[in-house]
Every structure is written in structure tokens, then in C-alpha cells.
A and B are shown apart, each in its own frame.
Chain A
Amino acid sequence: MGKTTMDYFILVVLASFGVLQVVAAYSRLRGLMLFQRSLLCVILGLGFVALGFLWFFGSGPRNLPDTQGGLDGNRQSALFAEGAAVALVATLILSSLVNRHRLPGLGVVQWGLEALKEATYFQALGTGVGRLWRQRPKRTQRSSSGSMAG
């Protein structure tokens, strides 16, 4: 992996992580927030975004063609998707750990991001999976004696 590739990947991970905190605070998705105070999440998020860009553009020349160390559009798109996915997974794990005792969890099953207003990601996932497990089709037990009722 070239230097620009790694640097770009790190930029995307940091900035995406920051964006998630800002958006979680705005959308009141408490299950994704690392702090329960929205303002702190916004500050943290903007800080990560700024850190990512300052570091990327300050750490080397970036106006390079893809034949001399730069990244073409396709490579950028793929790296962005990968970096954003890493940031999302990191957010889901960290926020679930930080909030596991803070949030009440789900009393009833809710789908979608709406569930993350009252539960962490893994609490919400567990509630949904638990419901699907309880609703699974059960096998009918067959009589094993072979006797016919008279």
C-alpha cells in the first residue's frame, strides 16, 4: 500500500468517525454517541474531521497524478467505502461499550436507526434477533409409541 493510499485511508477513517458523532448528536441517536451531551459529541466530531484534513494536507504534497503516487477516482471511491465502513464499525463497538449501562435498552422491538435513540447497537440487534428467534417456526412433536387410541 503506497503512502498516499494509507494517508487517504486514515483521513477517511478519522473524518467519517467525526461525521458520525456530529450526525448522531444532531439526530439524537444516543446509542451512537460517545458522550451523552450533544455539544461534546459535536466538538469531538468536528475535531476528528479537522484533524484528518489538517494531517492529510499537511503531511506531504497531494497534487500528484495517479502515475506518480496519487489516487485515481476508482481507487478513491473504494478506499472511501472501506474507510467509512471501518469508522462505522469502530463507532458501533465503542458506543456500545461506553453506553451499555447508560441506556435503558429496548422494551419493544424497533427496527432501523430509530432503535438507537434508546439502545446501543448491540442491544438493539440483540432485541431484534431475540424476537426473530422466539418467532421461529417450531417443530411439531410426533407420538413415538405407535399405539392407536381406542
Chain B
Amino acid sequence: MATAAQADAAVLLWLNGWVGRFPWLDTAARLVVSDYLVPVLLSLLLFGMWFAGREPTLRERHQRAVLRAIIGMGFASLVVLIANHYVFRPRPFTQYELQLLFYMPTDSSFPSNPAVVGFAMATGIWTGNRSLGLVAFLGAGLWGLSRVYAGVSYPSDVVAGALLGMAATLLVSGALATIEPLPTLVLRLAQRFHLA
């Protein structure tokens, strides 16, 4: 455990040590680490995916993926909320002298909320469209990496968040399959109003 914690801190310190060396990299990191860029882009991807597809079968596949992503994200966020009652990990900037590129969050560092949300959404997108899913995973990964670079999360917080997000959406995928025909009824109702 001590070795893992040391490795965790070592990676964090190494990455954060690059802050200040390349101004363009710091500017890019400030943008990516923002609470608004990646989540809005992923949300726009989901929104567009709902309507995308030249054939009805492809559109329906995309729409089911959007449902998985949204419900998976909600479920994962609920798990984090409960977990934070039992596990609190101090932020790395309370333990080490770091160069911060972000404000100082006060909630638990573990697991990383952005990683949970980002990877939950990306997994849902991936279940409907592999290419878009890879793009989403790239965005979620960059968001998580930027949190470490900016000094607000440990690498293990991001990894744990990613795994939790992915697992939540995959669990939701299975659950949605077992409650058919409910998701199909939702889609059929939306189709009656030409919204699906």
C-alpha cells in the first residue's frame, strides 16, 4: 500500500512539475481542466447522437446508447455521493506543494468526479457507436489527465473514477435489457412525436 501511495504521489509530482515550463501547455490545460469544456462537449455529442443516423435502425441504436449514457452517469454520480460519506481523501495540494492551475476543491479527491462522469458518458456512447465512443474516451481521458497535471487529483483518483464510471454504465446497460419493453416504449412514444 505504501509503495502504491508513493508511486501515486510520484506520478502526480512528476506531471505537475511540468507546470510553468510551457505556457501554451498550461493554457491548454486550464481550458481542458475546466468544469465546462469536456462535459459540455460530451453532452453535445450525446444530444447530437440522439438525432444522428441515416437509417431508423442506426438512429435507434444511437438513442439506446444515449439512454445508457445518461442513466449510467446518474447512477455513477449516486454511487460517488454515497461513497463520499464513507471515504474521504484529502486533495493532493493539501499534502504537497503543487503549482495549481485550478481552484481548490474541498470535496474528497477519491474518486475523481470528472473521471466518473466523463467515462460513464463515454462508455454509453461507445455502446452505440465505436468511433464516437473512442473520441469520447479520448476527451474523458484528457479531462482526467488534466486534473492530475493541474494538481487537484491523484492519478489513482482518476483511474478509480474511470473504472467506476465505466462499470456503472455497463451495469445500467444490462439492467435496461432486463426491463424491456420499457425502454422500447419510451422510444416509441418519442417517435409518435417525431422526436426519436
Which A residues are within 8 Å of any B CB, using their own CB? 8, 11-12, 15-16, 19-20, 22-24, 26-29, 32, 49, 53, 56-57, 62-65, 68, 70-71, 73, 76, 80, 84, 111-116, 121, 124-125, 128
Q: Please, how many residues of chain B have a CB less than 8 angstroms from a CB on the other chain?
A: 33
Bound-state CA distance A32–B48 (Å) is: 13
Bound-state CA distance A65–B105 (Å) is: 7
Q: Which residues of B contact A121 (CB under 8 A)?
A: 194
Bound-state CA distance A53–B192 (Å) is: 34
Q: Which residues of A contact B52 (CB under 8 A)?
A: 23, 26-27
Say which residue of A19, A53, A56, A57 sits within 8 Å of B48 (CB atoms).
Answer: A19
Q: Which residues of B contact A19 (CB under 8 A)?
A: 44, 47-48
Q: List 17 A-B contacts (CB under 8 A).
A: A15-B40, A22-B48, A24-B51, A27-B51, A29-B51, A49-B44, A53-B37, A57-B34, A62-B36, A65-B105, A65-B106, A68-B103, A80-B43, A84-B47, A112-B56, A112-B191, A124-B194
Contacts A76-B39, A111-B192, A125-B194 known; A62 to B48 CB distance under 8 Å? no
Does B159 have its Cβ within 8 Å of any Cβ on chain A? no
B192 touches A71 (CB 8 A): no
Say which residue of B39, B43, B44, B102 sits within 8 Å of A63 (CB atoms).
Answer: B102
B44 touches A16 (CB 8 A): yes
Bound-state CA distance A92–B129 (Å) is: 26
A80 touches B54 (CB 8 A): no
Say which residue of B31, B35, B191, B195 sits within 8 Å of A76 (CB atoms).
Answer: B35
Bound-state CA distance A29–B103 (Å) is: 43
Does B30 have its Cβ within 8 Å of any Cβ on chain A? yes
Does B173 have its Cβ within 8 Å of any Cβ on chain A? no
Say which residue of B31, B47, B106 sits within 8 Å of A57 (CB atoms).
Answer: B31
Bound-state CA distance A30–B65 (Å) is: 24
B51 touches A28 (CB 8 A): no
Q: Which residues of B contact A84 (CB under 8 A)?
A: 43, 47
Q: Which residues of B contact A22 (CB under 8 A)?
A: 48
Beyond the given A62-B36, A113-B51, please list 13 additional residue pairs across the A-B interface where CB-CB is below 8 A.
A23-B48, A23-B52, A27-B52, A28-B54, A56-B36, A64-B103, A65-B103, A65-B104, A73-B77, A80-B43, A84-B47, A112-B59, A116-B194
Does B12 have its Cβ within 8 Å of any Cβ on chain A? no
Does B140 have its Cβ within 8 Å of any Cβ on chain A? no
CB distance from A70 to the nearest CB of B (A): 6
Does B53 have its Cβ within 8 Å of any Cβ on chain A? yes
Q: Which residues of B contact A112 (CB under 8 A)?
A: 56, 59, 191, 194, 196
B193 touches A125 (CB 8 A): yes
Does B113 have its Cβ within 8 Å of any Cβ on chain A? yes
Q: Which residues of B contact A116 (CB under 8 A)?
A: 194
Q: Which residues of B contact A57 (CB under 8 A)?
A: 31, 34, 36-37
Q: Which of B77-129 contact A (CB under 8 A)?
A: 77, 102-106, 113, 117
Q: Which residues of A contact B31 (CB under 8 A)?
A: 57
CB distance from B56 to the nearest CB of A (A): 5
Q: Which residue of A lies closest to B80 (CB)?
A: A73
Bound-state CA distance A128–B104 (Å) is: 54
